[in-house]
Structure formats: C-alpha cells, structure tokens
C-alpha cells in the first residue's frame, strides 16, 4: 500500500467514523423535539402505552396539536410505548428523560410515597362530583388527589353464542359451569376458553375475587390471598388447565380480541375496548358475562381498570403539564367522548361525558356497563408489581400442578406482606 493510499484510507475512515458518531450521538436521541413548534417556549414530554386499536396514536397526537394551537407557548411530544409499559415508565422516572405527564393503568401508592406524582387537586377539585367516588378514592392519598381518571375499562368474559348453542351450554354463572363449558366447547380446532397466552392471565385474580376473597383483608393492609377460600378458588386454575379445553400459546394475549374473533376459542376473557373489533368479525354472534362465581359464598366479578392521567412532580414544566391535563381531560368533553368510542370502547370516566355517549345504550356495550356497575372490582393502590409477581408466580406453579396451592400461596403471601410493609413504613 502506498503512503498516499494509506492516508486517503485513513481520512476516509475518520470521516466515516466521525459521521457515524455524529449520526449516533445526536443530542436528541429520543427525538424529543419532534413535536416542537416554532415559537413554543416549552415542549412537554407525554407518555402513553401503546393502545392496540388503529388510529389511537394519531388521535393523541392530534389532541396535542390542537392544544398547541390554542396555547402556542406549549408544544407536546407524544411517546407511544409498546411492551411492558410500567417497567419502562418506572425506570424513566428516575432519570432526566422522565416524561412531564403520563398515563398509568393501575394506580400505585408507592409512586406517591416516592414523591413521583404531583397533586392535581386544583384541576379535579372544581369537577369532583363529575367523577365516581371509586375513581377519586383510588388516587387520593392523605387528602390529596394525584390523578385524573381518563377512561374506565371493564374486563369480562366474551362468549360465542352460536358455539354455546351448538354445544348445548348456557353462559356460565358458576365455576363448575365454566369448567363444564370449557370442556364441552372444545372441538379441537376451536378451544373452549382463552384467558391469556400463558394460560394464567388474569384468571388467578378473578378466581380469587370470585370466591369472595381479595388480595387484602378488610383493614386494607394485610395480605389475605392465602385464606382457605382463596386457595380453593385459585386451585381451580389447575382444573381449567387439566380440562383440555383451555387455549394456550395463542400469538396475541388476552387483551387483544384475536383468539376470540378468529374462532380459536369459544370464550375469552377480554376488555370492553375490543368490542368494536369483535363486532366487525362476529357481528352479533357474541355476548358478555361477568366471571362466574366460585363456591357458595362467592360472587360474579369483572375487573374495572382504566387509565389515569398523572403529572411528574419533578417536571420543570409542571404548570404547563397541568394546564394540558386540565384542557384535555376536564374541558374537552368532545375529545374525551371521541377517545372513548371512536377507536376501542371505553366508558367515559366523567358522568357528564358518559351521559352524552349513546354507544352504550344497546347490546353488549350496555351489558358491559351493567356488569361494571354490579360486578366491578379493582386493584388496591397498595398492590404493586413486586406483590403481583409473587402472586402470579405462585398461580403459574399451581396451574401446572407443580406446587401445593396452600403452601405456595402461603409462602407468596408472606413475601408479599413484606413488600406491603415496606411501602407503608
């Protein structure tokens, strides 16, 4: 190689490496200023989990742009986070990349305790009566309100009317009927029941609630999921697994209507949000029912979740973030209504908006509202990811017959209690 060649090679490589470094190390790796508008003094970072329905991401971006139109000083950059949203959010909250405002499905007391959330009383206060008491209680800590409920999501059992008719079974009201239906509805090609790709999903939680037990006892601070009636109910998971009718390993999880809409299962635990998609595939050949009751002292249950809009207490632009929350989730009733019915279905959290929404007056949607009112059950704010992991691990072992239910749940309860005590300390 001649010296000239070597030199030009070196210059070339330096240019290439430099270019690569510049491209890789831009000062804006998350594309944070993508949403900024010329003239905006402040750009807020907002996080959403990835909603499954098409058009949702464009919708929230449009809401942000409309806000900026009305408030040219404040631009908003929306991040759409796929996968394990809460884990990603939790780690981001400890860094300088933390969003200024974000949504969260299950409200966690520990976020308040760790000083991550800003109180939003000045926003919610004036319209307090417009929210359900439950939606307020969940986010109230020491008299302060830390979140604005955006939407209520009810989760329930979807069943295929024609399949049940063909098998000669009724929509299940008790666990025994559910087990029977799961077996009878299994045709090989179409399985009986789908609760999640891992065969557990929320079924362990539902079995627990449907036995009349709960994660916490009446004091709200002592773990009680290892009580005898709870153990008996959660052991039911193994019966479902042994029935041969439980669908497992479907590529999409329970939160997606895929397995049910494509005919891979005759019954599926799912969310109200899937209703429009299911209607598109199955027309009127489906119905909804709460999770059946377990045992004589049990009750039918449905999970009521939903999403809260929260503000980061450490945000440098807290006032701007609060202004946006107030604008979108309190003032813009039309946008709230659109968000609740145009993509997936959600029950508007505000009574005033719900009253204007006609989509829930007939059919399965109406049924869903009734179920949420009479069977709805929610997580306690003290129930955190660490406890949930312990509970679900135990449930998975029980489902697969790898552990004695009482011993396994007892052990998990002891460890979960330690987690709860740490939060309350």
Partner 1 sequence: MTATIEAPPATAAAPKTRRKRRDWRAIGAFAVLTGPMVIGLGLFKYVAIGWSFLLSFNDARGTISLGHWTGLTNYVFLLEDDAFRTSLTTIALFTVFIVPITFVASLALAVLINSIRRGRAFFRTVFLVPAAVSYVVAALVWKMALFNGLPSGVANVIGGLFGADPVPWLSQQNPPVYWVAVVTLRLWLQVGLYMILFLAGLQAISPTLYEAGELDGTSKWQAFRYITLPQLRNTSVAVLLLILIAAFQAFDEFYNLFSTGLAGTSTAPVKPPLVYLYDSALGDQNYGVGSAGAFVLTVIIIVITLLQGRIVGFGKKD
In Å, how far are 3, 10, 14, 21 from 6, measured between CA atoms?
5, 6, 12, 22
Handedness of CA 393, 399, 404, 405 (dihedral sign): positive
Q: Is the separation of the CB atoms in 269 and 263 below 8 Å?
A: no
| CB of 197 vs partner 1, minimal distance in Å | 5
| CB of 106 vs partner 1, minimal distance in Å | 10
Asked if 14 interacts with partner 1 (CB under 8 A), we say yes
| CB of 84 vs partner 1, minimal distance in Å | 5
| CB of 382 vs partner 1, minimal distance in Å | 14
Stretch that binds partner 1, among 195-203, 229-237, 342-350, 352-360 (CB under 8 A): 195-203
Rounded distance, CA 214 to CA 225, Å? 6
| CB of 417 vs partner 1, minimal distance in Å | 14
Residue 47, beta-bridge partner list: 79, 102
| CB of 43 vs partner 1, minimal distance in Å | 26
Stretch that binds partner 1, among 40-48, 68-76, 81-89, 363-371 (CB under 8 A): 81-89
Q: What is the 3-state secondary structure (H, E, C) of the chain?
A: CCHHHHHHHHHHHHHHHHHHHHHHCCCCCCCHHHHCCCCCCEEEEEEEECCCCCCHHHHHHHHHHHHHHHCCCEEEEEEEECCCHHHHHHHHCCCCCCCCEEEECCCCHHHHHCCCECCCHHHHHHHHHHECHHHHHHCEECCEECCEEEEEEEEEEEEEHHHHHHHCCCCCCEHHHHHHHHHHCCCCCCEEEECCCCCCCCHHHHHHHHCCCCCECCCCCCECCCCHHHHHHHCHHHHHHHCCCEECCCCCCCCCCHHHHCCCEEEEEEEHHHHHHHHHHHCCCEEEECECECCCCCCCEEEEEEEEEEEECCCCCHHHHHHHHHHHHHHCHHHHHHHHHCCCCCEECEHHHHHHCCCCCCHHHHHHHHHHHHHEECCCCCCCHHHHHHHHHHHHHHHCCCCCHHHHHHHHHHHHHHHHHHHHC
Choose between 370 and 389: whose C-beta lies nearer to partner 1: 389
Q: What residues between 240 and 279 interact with partner 1 by CB under 8 A?
A: 247-251, 253, 255, 264
Asked if 414 interacts with partner 1 (CB under 8 A), we say no
Asked if 239 interacts with partner 1 (CB under 8 A), we say no
Residue 267, beta-bridge partner list: 159, 193
Choose between 74 and 117: whose C-beta lies nearer to partner 1: 117
Asked if 110 interacts with partner 1 (CB under 8 A), we say yes
Stretch that binds partner 1, among 37-45, 104-112, 228-236, 347-355 (CB under 8 A): 104-112
Choose between 224 and 389: whose C-beta lies nearer to partner 1: 389
Stretch that binds partner 1, among 30-38, 112-120, 164-172, 294-302 (CB under 8 A): 112-120
Q: What residues between 330 and 389 interact with partner 1 by CB under 8 A?
A: 384-386, 388-389
| CB of 339 vs partner 1, minimal distance in Å | 19
How many beta carbons lie within 10 A of that of residue 142, not counting itself? Answer: 7
Asked if 392 interacts with partner 1 (CB under 8 A), we say yes
Binding map of partner 1 across residues 26-65, x = CB under 8 A, - = no contact: -----------------------x----------------
Asked if 117 interacts with partner 1 (CB under 8 A), we say no
| CB of 277 vs partner 1, minimal distance in Å | 16
Choose between 195 and 328: whose C-beta lies nearer to partner 1: 195
Which of 83, 125, 143, 168 is in the footprint of partner 1 by CB under 8 A? 83
Choose between 163 and 398: whose C-beta lies nearer to partner 1: 398
| CB of 311 vs partner 1, minimal distance in Å | 17
| CB of 251 vs partner 1, minimal distance in Å | 5
Binding residues for partner 1, per CB under 8 A?
6-7, 10-11, 14, 49, 83-87, 90-91, 94, 105, 110-111, 113-114, 116, 188-189, 196-201, 247-251, 253, 255, 264, 384-386, 388-389, 392-393, 395-396, 400-402, 419, 422
């Amino acid at each position: 190689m001649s010296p000239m060649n070597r030199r030009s090679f070196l210059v070339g490589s330096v240019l290439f490496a430099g270019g690569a470094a510049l491209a890789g190390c831009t000062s804006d790796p998350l594309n944070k200023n993508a949403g900024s508008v010329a003239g905006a003094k402040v750009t807020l970072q907002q996080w959403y989990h990835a909603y499954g329905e098409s058009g949702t991401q464009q919708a929230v971006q449009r809401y942000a742009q409309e806000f900026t139109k009305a408030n040219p000083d404040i631009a908003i950059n929306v991040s759409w986070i796929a996968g394990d949203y809460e884990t990603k959010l939790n780690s981001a909250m400890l860094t300088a990349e933390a969003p200024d405002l974000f949504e969260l499905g299950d409200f966690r007391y520990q976020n308040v305790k760790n000083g991550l959330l800003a109180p939003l009383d000045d926003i919610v206060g004036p319209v307090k009566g417009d929210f359900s008491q439950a939606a307020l209680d969940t986010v109230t800590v020491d008299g302060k309100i830390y979140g604005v409920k955006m939407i209520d999501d009810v989760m329930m059992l979807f069943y295929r009317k024609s399949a049940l008719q063909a098998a000669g079974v009724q929509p299940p009201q008790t666990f025994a009927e559910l087990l029977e239906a799961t077996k009878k509805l299994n045709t090989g090609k179409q399985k009986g029941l789908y609760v999640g790709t891992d065969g557990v999903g929320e079924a362990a939680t539902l079995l627990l609630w449907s036995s009349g037990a709960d994660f916490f006892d009446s004091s709200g601070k002592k773990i009680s999921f290892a009580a005898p009636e709870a153990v008996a109910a959660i052991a039911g998971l193994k019966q479902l697994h042994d029935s041969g009718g439980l669908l497992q390993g479907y590529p999409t999880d329970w939160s997606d209507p895929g397995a049910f809409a494509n005919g891979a299962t005759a019954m599926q635990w799912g969310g109200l949000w899937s209703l429009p998609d299911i209607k598109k595939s199955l027309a009127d050949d489906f119905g909804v029912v709460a999770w059946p009751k377990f045992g004589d002292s049990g009750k039918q249950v449905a999970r009521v979740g939903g999403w809260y809009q929260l503000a980061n207490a450490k945000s440098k632009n807290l006032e701007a973030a609060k202004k946006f929350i107030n604008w979108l989730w309190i003032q813009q009733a039309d946008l709230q209504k659109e968000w609740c019915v145009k993509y997936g279905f959600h029950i508007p959290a505000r009574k005033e908006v719900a009253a204007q929404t006609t989509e829930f007056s007939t059919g399965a949607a109406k049924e869903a509202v009734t179920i949420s009112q009479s069977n709805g059950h929610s997580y306690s704010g003290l129930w955190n990811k660490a406890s949930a992991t312990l509970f679900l691990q135990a449930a998975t072992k029980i489902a697969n017959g790898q552990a004695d239910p009482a011993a396994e749940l007892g052990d998990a309860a002891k460890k979960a209690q330690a987690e709860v005590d740490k939060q309350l300390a």
